[in-house]
């Protein structure tokens, strides 16, 4: 689900109000941290999608990512040994690791995890991400993955959390207690989860990589951006995820330091192919050049971001130079005129064959950042004769309308272009939950996506992704607006605090607390 709302964080080291809804159960001790977030997971089981991109705190994967987002060993002792044909990945697992119930971790747990993820009977929403995986087996302390085809991004898929076979084999993986009572090898254990209110973790004293010194980590669920800002200001929260314009109010607060993280986090507008207006390629091309991305960066993001011309940030080594779209409303009007979308004499809303150039654009309620993007997009569209009706709603309200209505979407993953582009654009995933929400179908794009994921040659991958981005200029799947910087302000009470290149999702894994288990008190 595409559900992240905020892009900035303010943190202090201890909760000042133990009676707050996001309270630290230790009563505000100096070794605790309370963070206000917009969303919570639906489940804590990796078999059902939790922590699929790693850094889940309760679990570890074979690999994890460092401060620069490079892969490094976690439950494996080293990066994988890859065969010359790119079809076999072999890992040696770490000895002496135990799950939080005291039982030993081993290669069989890795095999069980991946086989269960691939089982059609498991309600894993991300099974297509493992499409390349043919089989997995244990050989003593080694785990051997065999692929159907060379998949350049496969090693990054092994950040997936590993679950204990001895626990899951005794229950229904879809409905059993593990979904809310997880057992992992990670640096933290679940202490308490009150849905819709907060989720509290406590340090794992037996963690194989050293017990964390932040001993209590609470995520308070506060969906509304303004409410999180208010609760932060009142002292109810130690931390809050906020959009830039709300975070700016904390900029000059004494005793704080500011951290900025670049991200692959984009905001864009889906343009469903099944809608009589947005399904017209001419309308999509016109909207793509009608929007003023630079103004959105300036006015919506307060400068904390960059214009987005595709899901790939302009800072990505895979971004195709020359595919940037200038703000050109006159060109948009010409495109619409040539396609038969005409205005009346008063220059109002265009129409073609009796169909008005009008559609609905949804954004999730309480998400001020998406609301501001949606309103700016609608304003730019109106200037070229297209009426965009902006509407707020819950995701439960929005999801059934995706085939017909547009949505202000968010996404982005800096790990590999395949992780964003395939699910977003490939026609085989049209209408598959929150994949390919535009129901976009383009044979050339499908070929480029397949070519890029099935080769180990980086030069060939770059060429395929460049060709794909040029095709998106000709036939946009939607309109990408901005890439958002994530800004963090926090008390300088801990050492080891840093940021990574960040994905779209915020919450338990992303943010300055990506390495909270390594923080040490200053002084």
Per-residue pLDDT of the chain (523 residues; tens, 9 = 90+): 333 334 444 443 333 333 333 343 434 457 888 888 888 999 999 999 999 999 899 999 999 999 999 999 999 999 999 999 999 999 999 999 999 999 999 999 999 999 999 999 999 988 989 999 999 999 999 999 999 999 999 999 999 999 999 999 999 999 999 999 999 999 999 999 999 999 999 999 999 999 999 999 999 998 888 888 888 888 787 777 777 778 888 887 776 667 788 899 999 999 999 999 999 999 999 999 999 999 999 999 999 999 999 999 999 999 999 999 999 999 999 999 999 999 875 668 999 999 999 999 999 998 889 999 999 999 999 999 999 999 999 999 999 999 999 999 999 999 999 999 999 999 999 988 889 999 999 999 999 999 999 988 899 999 999 999 999 999 999 999 999 998 776 777 788 988 899 898 766 778 888 999 999 988 7
* Torsion angle defined by CA atoms of residues 394, 396, 400 and 406, in that order, rounded to the nearest 10 degrees: 20
Q: Which residues have a Cβ under 8 Å from the Cβ of 462 and sit 6 or more positions away? A: 317, 318
Where does 172-292 have alpha helices with state H? 225-234, 244-247, 281-290
What pTM, to 2 d.p., does this model score? 0.86
* Structural fold of domain 42-169: Dipeptide-binding Protein; domain 1 (3.90.76)
The helix (H) or strand (E) run that includes residue 491 is: strand 486-491
Buried b (16+ CB within 10 A) or exposed e, 414-452: bbbbbbbbbbbbbeebbeeebbbbbbbbbeebbebbebb
CATH architecture of 1-40+195-263+486-523: 3-Layer(aba) Sandwich (3.40)
CATH class of 266-484: alpha beta
Taking the CA atoms of 370, 371, 374 and 379 in sequence, report the sign of the dihedral they define: negative
Q: Which residues have a Cβ under 8 Å from the Cβ of 247 and sit 6 or more positions away? A: 8, 9, 10, 487, 489
* Structure token pair of residue 232: 């932060």
Please, is 37 exposed, middle or buried when counting C-beta atoms within 10 Å of its C-beta (0-12, 13-18, 19+)?
A: buried
Taking the CA atoms of 358, 363, 366 and 370 in sequence, report the sign of the dihedral they define: negative
pLDDT tens digits, one per residue of 428-464: 999 888 899 999 999 999 999 999 999 888 999 999 9
Q: Where are the domains of the chain?
A: 1-40+195-263+486-523, 42-169, 266-484
Residue 49 contacts residue 126 (beta carbons within 8 Å): yes
């Amino acid at each position: 689900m595409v559900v992240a709302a905020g892009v900035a964080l303010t943190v202090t080291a201890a909760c000042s109000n133990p009676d707050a809804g996001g309270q630290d159960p230790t009563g505000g001790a100096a070794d605790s941290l309370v963070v206000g977030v917009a969303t919570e997971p639906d489940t804590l089981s990796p078999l059902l999608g939790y922590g699929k991109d790693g850094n889940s705190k309760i679990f570890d994967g074979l690999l994890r990512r460092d401060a620069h987002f490079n892969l490094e060993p976690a439950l494996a002792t080293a990066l994988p040994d890859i065969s010359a044909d790119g079809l076999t990945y072999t890992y040696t697992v770490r000895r002496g690791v135990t799950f939080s119930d005291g039982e030993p971790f081993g290669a069989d747990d890795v095999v069980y995890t991946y086989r269960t993820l691939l089982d059609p009977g498991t309600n894993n929403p991300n099974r297509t991400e493992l499409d390349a995986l043919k089989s997995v087996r244990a050989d003593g302390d080694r785990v051997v993955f065999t692929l159907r085809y060379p998949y350049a991004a496969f090693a990054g898929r092994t950040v997936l959390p590993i679950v204990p076979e001895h626990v899951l084999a005794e229950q229904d993986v879809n409905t059993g207690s593990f979904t809310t009572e997880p057992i992992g090898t990670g640096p933290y254990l679940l202490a308490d989860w009150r849905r819709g209110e907060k989720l509290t973790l406590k340090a794992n004293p037996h963690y194989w990589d050293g017990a964390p010194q932040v001993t209590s980590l609470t995520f308070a669920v506060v969906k509304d951006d303004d409410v999180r800002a208010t609760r932060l200001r009142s002292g109810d929260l130690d931390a809050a995820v906020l959009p830039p314009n709300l975070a700016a109010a904390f900029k000059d607060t004494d005793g704080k330091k500011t951290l900025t993280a670049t991200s692959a986090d984009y905001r864009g507008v889906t343009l469903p192919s099944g809608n009589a207006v947005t399904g017209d390629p001419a309308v999509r091309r016109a909207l793509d050049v009608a929007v003023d991305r630079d103004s959105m960066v300036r006015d919506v993001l307060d400068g904390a971001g960059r214009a987005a011309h595709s899901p790939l940030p302009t800072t990505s080594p895979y971004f195709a130079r020359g595919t940037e779209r200038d703000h050109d409303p006159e060109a948009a009007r010409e495109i619409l005129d040539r396609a038969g979308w005409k205005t009346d004499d008063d220059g109002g809303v265009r129409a073609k064959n009796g169909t008005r150039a009008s559609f609905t654009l949804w954004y999730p309620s309480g998400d001020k950042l998406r609301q501001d993007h949606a309103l700016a997009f609608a304003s730019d569209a109106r200037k070229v004769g297209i009426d965009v009706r902006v509407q707020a709603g819950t995701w439960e309200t929005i999801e059934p309308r995706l085939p017909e209505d547009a949505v202000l979407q968010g996404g982005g993953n800096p790990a590999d272009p395949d992780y964003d582009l395939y699910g977003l654009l490939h026609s085989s995933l049209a209408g598959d939950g929150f994949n390919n929400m535009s129901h976009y179908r383009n044979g050339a794009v499908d070929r480029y996506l397949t070519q890029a994921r099935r080769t180990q040659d980086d030069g060939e991958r770059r060429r395929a992704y460049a060709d794909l981005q040029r095709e998106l200029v000709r036939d946009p799947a939607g309109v990408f607006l901005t890439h958002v910087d994530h800004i963090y302000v926090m008390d300088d009470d801990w050492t080891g605090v840093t940021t990574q290149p960040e994905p779209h999702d915020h919450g338990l894994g992303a943010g300055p607390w990506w390495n909270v288990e390594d923080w040490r008190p200053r002084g």
